[in-house]
Chain A
Protein backbone atom coordinates (compact mmCIF):
# COMPACT_ATOMS: atom_id res chain seq x y z
CA UNK A 1 0.00 0.00 0.00
CA UNK A 2 1.32 3.46 -0.87
CA UNK A 3 2.07 6.01 1.82
CA UNK A 4 -0.75 8.19 0.47
CA UNK A 5 -3.27 5.34 0.77
CA UNK A 6 -2.06 4.52 4.27
CA UNK A 7 -2.39 8.11 5.38
CA UNK A 8 -5.86 8.34 3.81
CA UNK A 9 -6.94 5.17 5.62
CA UNK A 10 -5.49 6.57 8.82
CA UNK A 11 -7.33 9.84 8.25
CA UNK A 12 -10.63 7.98 7.75
CA UNK A 13 -10.14 6.13 10.99
CA UNK A 14 -9.27 9.40 12.69
CA UNK A 15 -12.46 11.02 11.30
CA UNK A 16 -14.49 8.13 12.73
CA UNK A 17 -12.85 8.62 16.11
CA UNK A 18 -13.60 12.35 16.05
CA UNK A 19 -17.18 11.65 15.01
CA UNK A 20 -17.67 9.24 17.93
CA UNK A 21 -15.98 11.74 20.22
CA UNK A 22 -18.37 14.50 19.09
CA UNK A 23 -21.41 12.33 19.74
CA UNK A 24 -20.18 11.36 23.19
CA UNK A 25 -19.21 14.97 23.94
CA UNK A 26 -22.77 16.06 23.16
CA UNK A 27 -24.10 13.64 25.77
CA UNK A 28 -21.51 14.81 28.26
CA UNK A 29 -22.47 18.47 27.64
CA UNK A 30 -26.03 17.62 28.60
CA UNK A 31 -24.82 16.05 31.82
CA UNK A 32 -22.49 18.98 32.53
CA UNK A 33 -25.40 21.36 32.03
CA UNK A 34 -27.65 19.52 34.47
CA UNK A 35 -24.92 19.14 37.10
CA UNK A 36 -23.73 22.72 36.73
CA UNK A 37 -27.21 24.16 36.92
CA UNK A 38 -28.04 22.31 40.10
CA UNK A 39 -24.77 23.22 41.80
CA UNK A 40 -24.39 26.76 40.55
CA UNK A 41 -27.90 27.58 41.75
CA UNK A 42 -26.55 27.24 45.29
CA UNK A 43 -24.01 30.00 44.77
CA UNK A 44 -25.42 33.23 46.11
CA UNK A 45 -22.37 35.02 47.37
CA UNK A 46 -19.36 36.42 45.51
CA UNK A 47 -17.12 34.78 48.13
CA UNK A 48 -18.30 31.43 46.83
CA UNK A 49 -16.47 32.19 43.59
CA UNK A 50 -13.30 30.96 45.25
CA UNK A 51 -14.85 27.50 45.48
CA UNK A 52 -16.24 27.62 41.98
CA UNK A 53 -13.34 26.08 40.11
CA UNK A 54 -13.22 23.15 42.51
CA UNK A 55 -16.97 22.57 41.99
CA UNK A 56 -16.54 22.94 38.25
CA UNK A 57 -13.70 20.41 38.06
CA UNK A 58 -15.86 18.02 40.06
CA UNK A 59 -18.72 18.51 37.59
CA UNK A 60 -16.43 17.79 34.60
CA UNK A 61 -15.07 14.71 36.34
CA UNK A 62 -18.55 13.44 37.25
CA UNK A 63 -19.92 14.11 33.77
CA UNK A 64 -17.15 11.95 32.29
CA UNK A 65 -15.39 14.76 30.47
CA UNK A 66 -11.83 13.94 31.57
CA UNK A 67 -12.48 10.26 31.04
CA UNK A 68 -13.57 10.92 27.46
CA UNK A 69 -10.49 13.03 26.72
CA UNK A 70 -8.20 10.35 28.14
CA UNK A 71 -9.90 7.70 26.03
CA UNK A 72 -9.56 9.91 22.97
CA UNK A 73 -5.83 10.38 23.55
CA UNK A 74 -5.39 6.63 24.11
CA UNK A 75 -7.30 5.82 20.92
CA UNK A 76 -5.15 8.25 18.95
CA UNK A 77 -2.03 6.67 20.44
CA UNK A 78 -3.28 3.22 19.36
CA UNK A 79 -4.04 4.55 15.89
CA UNK A 80 -0.60 6.13 15.66
CA UNK A 81 0.95 2.88 16.91
CA UNK A 82 -0.80 0.76 14.31
CA UNK A 83 0.13 3.22 11.56
CA UNK A 84 3.75 3.14 12.65
CA UNK A 85 3.68 -0.67 12.68
CA UNK A 86 2.27 -0.80 9.15
CA UNK A 87 4.78 1.78 7.95
CA UNK A 88 7.57 -0.12 9.64
CA UNK A 89 6.51 -3.48 8.24
CA UNK A 90 6.14 -2.10 4.74
CA UNK A 91 9.49 -0.41 5.02
CA UNK A 92 7.86 2.96 4.44
CA UNK A 93 8.84 4.25 7.87
CA UNK A 94 12.46 4.25 6.81
CA UNK A 95 11.56 6.42 3.83
CA UNK A 96 10.13 9.09 6.14
CA UNK A 97 12.70 11.56 7.28
CA UNK A 98 12.94 12.83 10.83
CA UNK A 99 11.23 16.04 9.73
CA UNK A 100 8.21 14.14 8.38
CA UNK A 101 7.90 12.07 11.56
CA UNK A 102 8.09 15.26 13.61
CA UNK A 103 5.38 16.77 11.46
CA UNK A 104 3.11 13.73 11.88
CA UNK A 105 3.63 13.85 15.66
CA UNK A 106 2.96 17.57 15.71
CA UNK A 107 -0.27 17.07 13.73
CA UNK A 108 -1.41 14.45 16.24
CA UNK A 109 -0.60 16.79 19.14
CA UNK A 110 -2.54 19.58 17.46
CA UNK A 111 -5.53 17.30 16.92
CA UNK A 112 -5.55 16.35 20.61
CA UNK A 113 -5.17 19.97 21.71
CA UNK A 114 -7.81 21.15 19.23
CA UNK A 115 -10.40 18.63 20.41
CA UNK A 116 -9.50 19.23 24.02
CA UNK A 117 -9.87 22.98 23.52
CA UNK A 118 -13.33 22.67 21.95
CA UNK A 119 -14.48 20.73 24.98
CA UNK A 120 -12.86 23.14 27.39
CA UNK A 121 -14.21 26.21 25.59
CA UNK A 122 -17.72 24.88 25.47
CA UNK A 123 -17.53 23.83 29.11
CA UNK A 124 -16.09 27.18 30.14
CA UNK A 125 -18.76 29.00 28.18
CA UNK A 126 -21.47 27.12 29.98
CA UNK A 127 -19.72 27.82 33.25
CA UNK A 128 -19.29 31.52 32.51
CA UNK A 129 -22.82 31.81 31.18
CA UNK A 130 -24.41 30.18 34.17
CA UNK A 131 -22.07 31.96 36.51
CA UNK A 132 -22.87 35.38 35.03
CA UNK A 133 -26.54 34.61 34.92
CA UNK A 134 -26.55 33.81 38.61
CA UNK A 135 -24.16 36.35 40.03
CA UNK A 136 -24.07 39.32 37.71
CA UNK A 137 -27.72 39.42 36.65
CA UNK A 138 -26.82 39.10 32.99
CA UNK A 139 -29.66 39.00 30.47
CA UNK A 140 -30.43 36.17 28.11
CA UNK A 141 -29.07 38.34 25.28
CA UNK A 142 -25.76 38.81 27.18
CA UNK A 143 -25.58 35.10 27.81
CA UNK A 144 -26.28 34.26 24.19
CA UNK A 145 -23.71 36.77 22.93
CA UNK A 146 -21.08 35.44 25.31
CA UNK A 147 -21.77 31.84 24.33
CA UNK A 148 -21.79 32.57 20.61
CA UNK A 149 -18.55 34.54 20.99
CA UNK A 150 -16.82 31.86 23.02
CA UNK A 151 -17.92 29.09 20.70
CA UNK A 152 -17.17 31.10 17.54
CA UNK A 153 -15.21 29.09 15.00
CA UNK A 154 -16.30 25.75 16.43
CA UNK A 155 -19.19 23.58 15.28
CA UNK A 156 -20.85 24.23 18.65
CA UNK A 157 -21.66 27.83 17.81
CA UNK A 158 -24.98 26.73 16.31
CA UNK A 159 -25.94 25.37 19.73
CA UNK A 160 -25.29 28.68 21.54
CA UNK A 161 -28.98 29.65 21.61
CA UNK A 162 -29.97 26.20 22.79
CA UNK A 163 -27.37 26.33 25.56
CA UNK A 164 -28.50 29.82 26.59
CA UNK A 165 -32.22 28.92 26.63
CA UNK A 166 -31.62 25.63 28.38
CA UNK A 167 -29.26 27.13 30.94
CA UNK A 168 -31.75 29.86 31.84
CA UNK A 169 -34.70 27.47 32.08
CA UNK A 170 -32.70 24.97 34.13
CA UNK A 171 -31.54 27.76 36.40
CA UNK A 172 -35.14 28.91 36.97
CA UNK A 173 -36.18 25.35 37.75
CA UNK A 174 -33.24 24.84 40.11
CA UNK A 175 -34.12 28.08 41.91
CA UNK A 176 -37.75 26.99 42.39
CA UNK A 177 -36.63 23.55 43.57
CA UNK A 178 -34.33 25.19 46.07
CA UNK A 179 -37.10 27.50 47.32
CA UNK A 180 -39.38 24.49 47.78
CA UNK A 181 -36.71 22.48 49.60
CA UNK A 182 -37.72 23.62 53.15
CA UNK A 183 -41.29 22.48 52.32
CA UNK A 184 -40.31 19.07 50.93
CA UNK A 185 -42.16 17.13 53.67
CA UNK A 186 -45.28 19.28 53.43
CA UNK A 187 -48.05 17.21 51.81
CA UNK A 188 -49.94 20.39 51.02
CA UNK A 189 -47.37 21.32 48.36
CA UNK A 190 -48.05 20.38 44.74
CA UNK A 191 -46.42 21.33 41.44
CA UNK A 192 -47.87 23.01 38.34
CA UNK A 193 -46.31 22.84 34.86
CA UNK A 194 -45.84 26.49 33.92
CA UNK A 195 -44.56 28.28 30.81
CA UNK A 196 -45.73 28.76 27.25
CA UNK A 197 -49.20 27.52 26.42
CA UNK A 198 -49.55 24.82 23.79
CA UNK A 199 -48.71 26.19 20.34
CA UNK A 200 -47.37 24.91 17.01
CA UNK A 201 -43.90 24.20 18.38
CA UNK A 202 -44.83 22.62 21.72
CA UNK A 203 -43.43 19.12 22.05
CA UNK A 204 -46.07 16.38 22.39
CA UNK A 205 -44.64 15.49 25.82
CA UNK A 206 -45.06 19.05 27.13
CA UNK A 207 -48.48 19.38 25.47
CA UNK A 208 -49.66 16.22 27.28
CA UNK A 209 -48.41 17.45 30.67
CA UNK A 210 -49.96 20.90 30.14
CA UNK A 211 -53.26 19.61 28.79
CA UNK A 212 -53.67 17.21 31.71
CA UNK A 213 -54.30 20.46 33.65
CA UNK A 214 -53.44 18.86 36.95
CA UNK A 215 -51.22 19.41 39.96
CA UNK A 216 -48.37 16.93 40.43
CA UNK A 217 -46.86 15.49 43.59
CA UNK A 218 -43.16 16.11 44.21
CA UNK A 219 -42.32 12.54 43.13
CA UNK A 220 -44.33 12.89 39.92
CA UNK A 221 -42.76 16.27 39.23
CA UNK A 222 -39.23 14.92 39.76
CA UNK A 223 -39.89 12.16 37.24
CA UNK A 224 -41.40 14.49 34.63
CA UNK A 225 -38.71 17.13 35.18
CA UNK A 226 -35.92 14.78 34.16
CA UNK A 227 -37.75 13.30 31.16
CA UNK A 228 -35.38 13.22 28.16
CA UNK A 229 -38.20 14.52 25.91
CA UNK A 230 -37.78 17.96 27.41
CA UNK A 231 -33.99 18.01 27.75
CA UNK A 232 -33.18 20.94 25.47
CA UNK A 233 -34.88 24.25 24.71
CA UNK A 234 -37.93 23.43 26.83
CA UNK A 235 -40.08 26.50 27.49
CA UNK A 236 -41.69 25.07 30.62
CA UNK A 237 -40.84 24.56 34.25
CA UNK A 238 -42.53 23.30 37.41
CA UNK A 239 -43.61 25.75 40.07
CA UNK A 240 -44.91 24.88 43.53
CA UNK A 241 -48.19 26.00 45.14
CA UNK A 242 -50.49 24.80 47.91
CA UNK A 243 -53.32 22.40 47.04
CA UNK A 244 -55.89 25.18 47.68
CA UNK A 245 -54.01 27.52 45.33
CA UNK A 246 -53.94 24.81 42.65
CA UNK A 247 -57.72 24.32 42.92
CA UNK A 248 -58.30 28.12 42.83
CA UNK A 249 -56.18 28.30 39.70
CA UNK A 250 -58.34 25.64 38.04
CA UNK A 251 -56.06 22.63 38.30
CA UNK A 252 -57.18 19.15 39.23
CA UNK A 253 -55.68 17.97 42.52
CA UNK A 254 -55.62 14.28 43.41
Chain B
Protein backbone atom coordinates (compact mmCIF):
# COMPACT_ATOMS: atom_id res chain seq x y z
CA UNK B 1 0.00 0.00 0.00
CA UNK B 2 1.41 3.35 -1.03
CA UNK B 3 1.13 6.21 1.45
CA UNK B 4 0.27 9.53 -0.13
CA UNK B 5 1.92 12.57 1.35
CA UNK B 6 -0.45 15.44 2.08
CA UNK B 7 0.49 18.44 -0.04
CA UNK B 8 1.92 21.39 1.84
CA UNK B 9 -0.92 23.78 1.06
CA UNK B 10 0.67 26.62 3.00
CA UNK B 11 3.84 26.41 0.90
CA UNK B 12 1.81 26.17 -2.30
CA UNK B 13 -0.25 29.24 -1.32
CA UNK B 14 2.92 31.14 -0.46
CA UNK B 15 4.40 30.20 -3.86
CA UNK B 16 1.27 31.35 -5.68
CA UNK B 17 1.17 34.60 -3.74
CA UNK B 18 4.82 35.37 -4.49
CA UNK B 19 4.45 34.69 -8.21
CA UNK B 20 1.30 36.80 -8.46
CA UNK B 21 2.97 39.52 -6.39
CA UNK B 22 5.98 39.59 -8.71
CA UNK B 23 3.80 39.56 -11.84
CA UNK B 24 1.58 42.39 -10.61
CA UNK B 25 4.36 44.58 -9.26
CA UNK B 26 6.68 44.22 -12.25
CA UNK B 27 3.72 44.69 -14.63
CA UNK B 28 3.00 47.94 -12.81
CA UNK B 29 6.53 49.28 -13.03
CA UNK B 30 7.31 48.08 -16.56
CA UNK B 31 3.99 49.32 -17.98
CA UNK B 32 4.66 52.78 -16.58
CA UNK B 33 8.16 52.76 -18.10
CA UNK B 34 6.77 51.63 -21.46
CA UNK B 35 4.02 54.26 -21.37
CA UNK B 36 6.50 57.03 -20.58
CA UNK B 37 8.88 55.90 -23.33
CA UNK B 38 6.08 55.88 -25.88
CA UNK B 39 4.69 59.22 -24.74
CA UNK B 40 8.12 60.85 -24.92
CA UNK B 41 8.41 59.58 -28.50
CA UNK B 42 5.20 61.52 -29.12
CA UNK B 43 2.79 58.66 -29.80
CA UNK B 44 -0.51 57.73 -28.16
CA UNK B 45 -1.66 54.18 -27.37
CA UNK B 46 -2.69 53.64 -31.02
CA UNK B 47 0.67 54.85 -32.28
CA UNK B 48 -0.82 58.14 -33.50
CA UNK B 49 1.26 61.28 -33.03
CA UNK B 50 -0.07 63.78 -30.49
CA UNK B 51 -1.37 67.15 -31.62
CA UNK B 52 1.61 69.49 -31.83
CA UNK B 53 2.27 72.11 -29.16
CA UNK B 54 1.71 75.76 -30.03
CA UNK B 55 4.64 77.67 -31.53
CA UNK B 56 5.00 79.85 -28.44
CA UNK B 57 5.06 76.81 -26.11
CA UNK B 58 7.62 75.09 -28.35
CA UNK B 59 9.80 78.21 -28.36
CA UNK B 60 9.51 78.54 -24.58
CA UNK B 61 10.42 74.89 -24.04
CA UNK B 62 13.36 75.12 -26.45
CA UNK B 63 14.63 78.18 -24.62
CA UNK B 64 14.64 76.21 -21.37
CA UNK B 65 16.26 73.15 -22.93
CA UNK B 66 13.12 70.98 -22.68
CA UNK B 67 12.75 68.45 -25.46
CA UNK B 68 9.61 66.43 -24.77
CA UNK B 69 5.95 67.32 -25.11
CA UNK B 70 4.86 65.97 -21.72
CA UNK B 71 8.05 66.71 -19.84
CA UNK B 72 8.66 70.18 -18.51
CA UNK B 73 9.39 69.99 -14.79
CA UNK B 74 8.86 66.24 -15.22
CA UNK B 75 6.56 66.21 -12.19
CA UNK B 76 3.51 64.86 -14.04
CA UNK B 77 5.21 61.83 -15.58
CA UNK B 78 7.16 61.14 -12.40
CA UNK B 79 3.95 61.10 -10.39
CA UNK B 80 2.48 58.17 -12.37
CA UNK B 81 2.23 55.20 -10.07
CA UNK B 82 0.13 52.07 -9.57
CA UNK B 83 -1.90 50.15 -7.05
CA UNK B 84 -2.37 46.41 -6.99
CA UNK B 85 -5.11 44.15 -5.67
CA UNK B 86 -3.82 40.66 -5.15
CA UNK B 87 -6.75 38.85 -3.53
CA UNK B 88 -9.56 37.39 -5.66
CA UNK B 89 -9.20 38.56 -9.23
CA UNK B 90 -5.82 40.41 -9.39
CA UNK B 91 -6.09 44.05 -10.43
CA UNK B 92 -3.65 46.74 -11.45
CA UNK B 93 -4.65 50.41 -11.28
CA UNK B 94 -2.54 53.23 -12.72
CA UNK B 95 -2.92 56.72 -11.27
CA UNK B 96 -1.09 59.93 -10.31
CA UNK B 97 0.19 60.25 -6.76
CA UNK B 98 -0.32 64.04 -6.68
CA UNK B 99 -3.73 65.71 -7.13
CA UNK B 100 -2.24 68.68 -9.02
CA UNK B 101 -0.46 66.40 -11.47
CA UNK B 102 -3.75 64.55 -11.89
CA UNK B 103 -5.36 67.86 -12.89
CA UNK B 104 -2.54 68.56 -15.35
CA UNK B 105 -3.07 65.13 -16.89
CA UNK B 106 -6.84 65.70 -17.04
CA UNK B 107 -6.30 68.98 -18.90
CA UNK B 108 -3.85 67.38 -21.33
CA UNK B 109 -6.33 64.60 -22.11
CA UNK B 110 -9.66 66.45 -22.08
CA UNK B 111 -8.85 70.05 -22.95
CA UNK B 112 -5.78 69.76 -25.16
CA UNK B 113 -6.98 66.40 -26.56
CA UNK B 114 -3.67 64.63 -26.06
CA UNK B 115 -4.69 61.29 -24.59
CA UNK B 116 -1.33 60.13 -23.30
CA UNK B 117 -2.62 58.19 -20.29
CA UNK B 118 -3.91 55.15 -22.10
CA UNK B 119 -2.61 51.69 -22.92
CA UNK B 120 -2.55 49.89 -26.24
CA UNK B 121 -4.09 46.41 -26.61
CA UNK B 122 -0.55 45.05 -26.87
CA UNK B 123 0.44 46.71 -23.60
CA UNK B 124 -2.71 45.45 -21.84
CA UNK B 125 -2.28 41.91 -23.22
CA UNK B 126 1.29 41.84 -22.00
CA UNK B 127 0.10 42.52 -18.46
CA UNK B 128 -2.74 39.99 -18.72
CA UNK B 129 -0.36 37.31 -20.09
CA UNK B 130 2.19 37.94 -17.37
CA UNK B 131 -0.37 37.65 -14.58
CA UNK B 132 -2.00 34.59 -16.20
CA UNK B 133 1.40 32.92 -16.59
CA UNK B 134 2.13 33.53 -12.93
CA UNK B 135 -1.05 31.65 -12.02
CA UNK B 136 -0.61 28.81 -14.55
CA UNK B 137 3.14 28.10 -14.31
CA UNK B 138 3.31 27.09 -10.68
Contacts and interface: CB of A to CB of B under 8 A. Distances in A.
B104 to A, nearest CB: 11
Interface string A140-179: 1100000000000000000000000000110010011001
A196 B74 contact: yes
A182 B18 contact: yes
B99 A192 contact: no
B30 A245 contact: yes
B49 to A, nearest CB: 18
A101 B68 CA distance: 65
A46 interface: no
A180 interface: yes
B18 to A, nearest CB: 7
Interface string B91-105: 000000111110000
A172 B97 contact: yes
Interface of B is mostly: helix
A241 B30 CA distance: 6
A241 B22 contact: no
A194 B33 contact: yes
B53 interface: no
Given A239-B32, A249-B34, A180 B25 contact: yes
Contacts, number: 73
B117 interface: no
A245 B98 contact: no
A137 B99 contact: yes
A200 B65 contact: yes
A242 interface: yes
B33 A241 contact: yes
B51 interface: no
Contacts of B25: 179-180, 183, 240
B2 interface: no
Contacts of A168: 98
A250 B71 CA distance: 20
A241 B26 contact: yes
A139 interface: yes
B85 interface: no
A245 B26 contact: yes
Interface in B44-80: 64-68, 71, 74-75, 78
A186 interface: yes
Contact of A200 (B64, B97, B99): B64
B113 interface: no
A199 B33 contact: no
* A139, A175, A180, A201 interface centre (most CB from chain B within 10 Å): A139
Nearest to A195: B78
Interface of B: 18, 21-22, 25-26, 29-30, 32-34, 36-37, 40, 64-68, 71, 74-75, 78, 81, 97-101
Interface of A: 137, 139-141, 168-169, 172, 175-176, 179-180, 182-183, 186, 189, 192, 194-197, 199-201, 235, 237, 239-242, 245, 248-250
